[in-house]
Amino acid sequence: MPEASDCRRLAVVAVALAVLVGFAVPAGAASGSVTVDAAIDSGSESTTMQFTFTAPSNGTITNADEPSTGDVSFAFDDRLPFSVSAGEQYTVSYTATADQSASGGTYSESVGLYYSDGSTATTEPLDLTVTEAEPQFGSVRVSDAPVDVVFTSSGAQTRSVSLDVPNTGNGAMVPEDVSFDTPSGISVSVESMPSRIDGNREGTIDLEVTVDRNAPTGTTQVTGTVQDNLGTSGGGFSFDVDVSKPPVAGVPGGTVDVGDVLVGSSTTTSFEVSEQGGFTGLDGLQTSGGSDADGSISFDTSGFSTSAGGSDTAEVTISANSDAPQHETLRFTTDLSGVDSDSPATSTTFEARVIYPATLENVDALINTFEFDEPRTVSAQQAETTVRFDNGGDLEMDVQSVDASVSDSRIQARVTDVSSTVQGQSSGDATVQLAADPSTPEGTYTLDVRVETADAGTETISQEFEVDHGTDLAVGESDVGFGEVTITERRTRTIDVGEALGYNDLSNVEIERVDGPDRWLEVTEQPPGSISAGEAAPLVYQLRFDTDAEAYQEYTWTFEVSATGVETETITVSAVARLLSPEAIISDLDEQAGAGGWQATTAESTTGALESMESRLREGESFSNGDIQRTLAVGQSTVVLIDSVESAQQLQSEGNYEAAQREVISALIARNMIEQYAANIEDEETAAAFTRSAEASADPVASIVDEQQSHYESVLESDDATALERHFASDNLAELARQRGNGDRAAEYESTAESSFEEYQQQVSTGVNRRTEAMNAHESFTDNATLTVLGQPLVLNPARIDEVNAHAASVSGDLQAAENAFRAAGATGEAEAVAQTRSDVGTELTILRYALYGATVLFAVLFLLFVVREVLNARTFIQESREATAGDFLL
């Protein structure tokens, strides 16, 4: 028990001392060690050191010492900054690095850690021990020795030797060189050498031994030493070289191709064997080895002999078994050597290909369907098929005949173009032409074919095929070209769409545009949805370019014509938009230019502009649509201008100013248009040409306008001019002023024209009223006539003679006043009509008066006769009365 108590006291004391020491001194120095290789100058070795410190105060560690003494350096290995608390312990790491060139020994440094304010948190020692490791050669071993060199050719011989070099030291070894001591005719070189052999490891150095032709025969020794970069002792080695020079038999290339051998037979060929050593000739040839399960090989070497480096021939025979596979290569690897015991064997391969005799096989008729694809109206439906047959062998096959027939007499078969011979492993063929009656129904038929050869057999096959009545969706044209189409011109093209064969109807016929602009071209008529077999229907395209089309640009449209169960047809429609009849305009201008003078200048300037623009457009130059349309308008206006001026001059010379007015206005409008368009055309060349044209026509146009104006002003000044003449003269003068751009003067003439027209209307109204009064009075008088005979009214009452005379005077006066009013107004036609009416009414009234006068005379005569008669009657009565009174009547 006392012993246990003493032990406990000792333990407590030890712990207390340990605690006191821990508070009194730093946590302890950090140390480490690395090993560097003495033979290595590049690279480095590193290790990690740690130490623990107690923070004297709170703060942030921001910096750490990283000392370096040339070949050795210390680097702080933790992250900065980091925070610490007073009294707490912290462990940090340093990486110590020694270069391979560093010397052995201990490297010590003191490092400090610092707060952000620069005060020291701790200072600790770092110790790095560097040890240099040295290499050491072990016993060098030689592989592939001794080296046996047998001269099998006339050139130098080479062999490979390997040195196994052990490094028994702890440090890496760097092999630097190998030195050799060689006999005459033998040289050694280093093929490869390791750059480094680590401690206690092995490395391999490959050597190449070259033996010249003049090297002595027998055994000689090669010695050498491996050296490293430090000059380490050891590394010696040696090996023997055995040289012999026997005769050597060999075949150039090492392979003999015997060629083809027919199955079940053999073939023989000679081959060359040369003495390849070049020192002793061959006196005989030995062969050994070589077999193949599908054949055999034999040699004839009798009499074989060569000089040193010379050659001779031997024969080889290869036989193929009867069951050898076709095209198998029989391959025999045989050793060849001289008869001398020391002659080395060289391996030679003998090959032959097994071939078979001609064999007829794989006869086939390449037909499944006979489609009737010609119109039903043809005399016979035609089709061709190929009969193919193979020569499965390798020898040529002679074909004697190929025959064909069809199971139905409505289909005839004829064979042409038969391959008379077929090479091995090739195919031959023959053409079978079929001709069928168009009425042959659809169904299954059989084609029988028989192929006969001279020595490869005969084979007959039967091939079923289907007769199919085709359906052909046909279009009259697949490329519809409108050519150049003048802008605004309307063109149409019609093509037929139908079923061409006559066997089956077309259903669900559709026309669809699949490409091209959606304007200018339209389908105005298309086929119906169903078309009977052999029938066709029209497809009508209508084309009209508007001014949005680019001149001389080709436009293309693609249409697909489809129907159920047939191949879709494609129709391509193309057209080129061209300017509005430039040729016609140019032709008219050329004709007008023939008059010379201003016409030539005007026409030629415009023609030049048109031709230039057309040429530049065709060459690909771009113009705005506005310039193109204005240019065409100016061209047409120039034609109108020249025609109008010439016509106006002619009419004015004839005094026909009324007709000339239209031509003068036309000339003014045309010239104004030329000037306006020339000012708005963007192309300077074209605008300049039109300006010259307008300038050349200025004087002729001004001349006819002045002449026309002078004429109408004279009408206004004339006292004999009617109101209508003054109206038309003022109206025409207003139009002339307006076209000349004189709006104020035009307004004055228009006011005069309105006044004259009002006067005209008043005068016409007066004439109409007076004519109406006269005709109404005459109609009323006619209704009161005694009678009418053949449209002529008659008044027979003498008492109305004054009435008749008054009526005649009144009607004649009214009609005369109406005629005068119409003439004053200028309504000449109305005036003439009234004059005729007045004449007719006057004649009618004259007849009526004459009839009335006659009736009056008749009545007077009758009255006189009545009076005479009554007088006579009275006289008789008186006489008779007297006689009665006197009584004389009794006598």
The full set of domains in the chain, from first to last, is: 27-132 (2.60.40.2310), 141-244 (2.60.40.10), 249-355 (2.60.40.10), 360-469 (2.60.40.10), 473-578 (2.60.40.10), 582-717 (1.20.120)
Residues in the chain: 891
Average pLDDT score over residue span 76-94: 93
Query: Does position 720 have pLDDT exceeding 80, yes or no?
Result: no
800: DSSP letter: G
The more confident residue out of 158 and 587 is 158
Give the per-residue pLDDT at 780. Answer: 63
The three-class DSSP label of residue 778 is: helix
- In the chain, the percentage of residues whose pLDDT exceeds 70 is 84
Give the per-residue pLDDT at 267. Answer: 95
- Residue type, position 677, single letter: Y
- Residue type, position 172, single letter: A
Q: Which two tokens stand for residue 173?
A: 């070894």
Average pLDDT value over all residues in the chain: 84
Query: Does position 825 have pLDDT exceeding 70, yes or no?
Result: no
Q: Where do the DSSP E strands lie in 780-836?
A: 787-789, 792-794
d(CA 832, CA 822): 9
Q: How far is CA 683 from CA 297, 613, 616, in A?
A: 97, 9, 12
Query: Does position 19 have pLDDT exceeding 60, yes or no?
Result: no
Closest by Cα among 345, 334, 263, 342 to 299: 334
d(CA 470, CA 505): 10
pLDDT band, very low/low/confident/very high, at 300 (cuts 50, 70, 90)? very high
Q: Which two tokens stand for residue 98?
A: 């020694």
Q: What is the pLDDT of residues 682-698, one digit of tens each?
A: 888 888 888 888 888 88
The more confident residue out of 118 and 632 is 118
- Mean pLDDT lowest among 602-606, 706-710, 790-794: 790-794
- In the chain, the percentage of residues whose pLDDT exceeds 90 is 49
d(CA 48, CA 30): 9
The three-class DSSP label of residue 784 is: coil
Average pLDDT score over residue span 674-681: 82
Average pLDDT score over residue span 756-780: 69
φ/ψ (deg, to 5) at 690: -70, -30
Is there a cis peptide before residue 81, judged by omega within 30 degrees of 0? yes
HEC string of 267-323 equals: EEEEEEEEECCCCCCCCCCEEECCCECCEEEEEECCCCCCCCCCEEEEEEEEEECCC
Query: Does position 877 have pLDDT exceeding 70, yes or no?
Result: no
Q: What is the pLDDT of residues 477-522, one digit of tens each?
A: 999 999 988 888 899 999 999 999 999 999 999 999 999 999 999 9
pLDDT band, very low/low/confident/very high, at 758 (cuts 50, 70, 90)? low
Instruction: Return all residues near 229 (Cβ < 8 A) that are at least 6 apart.
Output: 39, 174, 176
Give the per-residue pLDDT at 440. Answer: 94
pLDDT band, very low/low/confident/very high, at 47 (cuts 50, 70, 90)? very high
Q: Are 58 and 84 in contact (CB under 8 A)?
A: yes
Give the per-residue pLDDT at 848. Answer: 62
Q: What is the pLDDT of residues 188-218, one digit of tens each?
A: 999 999 999 999 999 999 999 999 988 888 8
Q: Are 407 and 440 in contact (CB under 8 A)?
A: no
Closest by Cα among 155, 158, 154 to 144: 158
Closest by Cα among 249, 238, 177, 236 to 209: 238
Query: Does position 543 have pLDDT exceeding 50, yes or no?
Result: yes
The residues with which 451 forms a beta bridge, in sequence order, are: 402, 459
Q: What is the pLDDT of residues 155-201, one digit of tens each?
A: 888 999 999 999 999 989 999 999 999 999 899 999 999 999 999 99
For tokens 């064909």, what's the residue? 404
For tokens 């033998």, what's the residue? 186
d(CA 238, CA 624): 100
- Mean pLDDT lowest among 133-137, 196-200, 395-399, 876-880: 876-880
d(CA 304, CA 274): 11
The more confident residue out of 160 and 772 is 160
pLDDT band, very low/low/confident/very high, at 815 (cuts 50, 70, 90)? confident
506: DSSP letter: B
Q: Are 354 and 328 in contact (CB under 8 A)?
A: yes
pLDDT band, very low/low/confident/very high, at 755 (cuts 50, 70, 90)? low
Mark 794-832 as b/e (b = at least 16 C-beta within 10 Å): bbbeeebeeebeebbeebbebbebbbbbbbbbbbeebbe
Angle at 201 between CA 196 and CA 205, to 5 degrees: 55
pLDDT band, very low/low/confident/very high, at 771 (cuts 50, 70, 90)? confident
pLDDT band, very low/low/confident/very high, at 25 (cuts 50, 70, 90)? very low
pLDDT band, very low/low/confident/very high, at 855 (cuts 50, 70, 90)? low
Query: Does position 26 have pLDDT exceeding 60, yes or no?
Result: no
d(CA 575, CA 555): 5
**Residue 363 parent element (H or E):** strand 360-365
Give the per-residue pLDDT at 20. Answer: 35
d(CA 448, CA 385): 12
Query: Does position 106 have pLDDT exceeding 80, yes or no?
Result: yes
Give the per-residue pLDDT at 891. Answer: 43
Query: Does position 857 have pLDDT exceeding 90, yes or no?
Result: no
**Residue 496 parent element (H or E):** strand 490-499
